[in-house]
Amino acid sequence: MIINTKEEQNFARHFDKLTWIGLYNDTGEWTWVDGTQLSESYWGPGEPNQLGGNNEDCVEMRFHEIEDSWNDAPCSNVNFWICEKDAALELE
């Protein structure tokens, strides 16, 4: 899931699980899975912090935070994930 708005952030927070979002860092910059650069962010306090060394290159969303809930984490962590897909529009 790519989060570009506060509405998307609030929607994703309601899953009540540690959840991967589609943001990663493999070149020193945070990039979305569609290749766009990070513009709007909702990092938790003190994040990103590379706490686990230099391998916290993926981003999980913490559901228990009040508002800003992103945490950089090792990509090998086992979390839930959210897929984002454009809705099909049928015209009648």
pLDDT in tens, 28-62: 899 999 999 999 999 999 999 988 677 899 999 98
Q: Are 71 and 57 in contact (CB under 8 A)?
A: no
Cα gap 78→92, rounded to integer Å: 43
Peptide bond into 48 cis (omega under 30): yes
The model carries a pTM of 0.84
CA 21 to chain centre: 3
Q: What is the pLDDT of residue 52?
A: 66
Instruction: Look up the CATH superfamily of 6-81.
Output: Mannose-Binding Protein A, subunit A (3.10.100.10)
The token pair at 23 is 């943001």
Strands 30-32 and 80-81: unpaired
